[in-house]
Chains A and B, each alone.
Chain A
Amino acid sequence: MHIMEGYLPVTHAVAWTAVAAPFVVHGGRRLARLVAERPQLKLLVAAVGAYAFVLSALKLPSVTGSSSHPTGTGLGAVVFGPPVMAVMGTMVLVFQALLLAHGGVTTLGANVFSMAVAGPWVAFGAYRLATRLRAPRSWAVFLAACLGDLATYAVTSVQLALAFPDPAGGFAAALAKFMAVFALTQVPLAVTEGLLTVVAMNLLASHGRDDLAELAALTGRKEVAP
């Protein structure tokens, strides 16, 4: 889902940076307050960040004959909420832009918006909705990570279609083209990400039970409690 360096016109690059920045600043403040109030949760924050690092480094083949990677932001969005993941996701993207030539500095704002803002919010919303409908936790986590992953790639497609509308068919035709590149490839990967996130959440629920209980007490969100 990375928009590569140089592939956004200047106005779009600036605009997406301006849109994404407040989310990251807000998330940074939220994160700073969280670790100030509950220092023991620092390790859990780092653990969900580590999970995003692992998953975004996995290039997986897909049935379409191309390959792509999961995002890994669903787990943290479910556990800590989307603002914290705006920060963690940005760290992953900065690392990949500076050292791996994946994504880019000029396209960072757009990539942050899709992977670190839109994906986590969709994941969080899906989780809240599924738990409210009394879905078992595994299903709720699966849906959250899976839909967050798909949303990230859908947003990337929209960003590219806005920047490069088709000369004949306009925005809609361009969107169809970019969705053809990303969406179909991503479906099996999103399912894989959902499944892996269920495993990760199960591990946190058994080994990190005290941290999750502490977090639930702090935020009042009962659904993350073990």
Chain B
Amino acid sequence: MIRTSLFALALAAAISAYPLVFPPAGDREFAGTDGLAVDAIADIRPDYRRWPEEPLGFVPSPRVESLLFAAEATLGAGFLGFYLWLRRRQARRQAMAVAADARGPGDGSH
């Protein structure tokens, strides 16, 4: 299982790094597809008027935006790590308690 995981992580890293190491032709600067879809809409319906014209939520500046994205990823990964750590600790304690019980009462060797 660990070998599968390590292989999967290495392959995922390679797939993500590939376009950076070997940039595709053209100067597209890895624009987000959400924005490109907006361009496609403008192409099909040049007369379309945005409704509403401004986003209804908070619009962060580019720097604040990357901060919030990083915070989102960090908090998510942090919680995931916390969950795994907690459950592993509980499983270990349980295993130790079972082992202690198996040695029987009166055995003081803890």
Contact = CB atoms under 8 A, between A and B. Distances in A.
A53 interface: yes
A156 to B, nearest CB: 8
A207 B94 CA distance: 13
A160 interface: yes
State the main secondary structure of chain A at its contact with B.
helix
Given A47-B79, A58-B73, A178 B30 contact: no
A34 to B, nearest CB: 16
B36 A66 contact: yes
A132 to B, nearest CB: 21
A209 B60 contact: no
B97 interface: no
A6 B48 CA distance: 10
Contacts, number: 209
Interface string A19-51: 000000000000000000000000110110011
A99 B56 CA distance: 10
A59 interface: yes
B108 interface: no
State the main secondary structure of chain B at its contact with A.
helix
A57 B55 contact: no
Contacts of B25: 65
Contact of A65 (B9, B24, B44, B51): B24
Nearest to B34: A2
Counting contact residues on chain B (CB < 8 A from A), the size range is 35 or more
A71 to B, nearest CB: 13
Interface residues of A, number: 75
Interface string A76-117: 000000000000000000011111111111100000000000
Contacts of B26: 65
Most buried by B among A5, A106, A185: A5
B1 to A, nearest CB: 5
B80 A61 contact: no
A67 B37 contact: no
A166 B44 contact: yes
Which 6 residue pairs are nearest across A and B when measured between Cβ atoms?
A65-B28, A53-B76, A6-B50, A54-B76, A98-B57, A57-B72
Interface of A: 1-7, 9-10, 43-44, 46-47, 50-54, 56-68, 95-106, 138, 156, 160, 164-167, 174, 177-178, 181-182, 185-186, 188, 191-192, 195-196, 198-200, 202-211
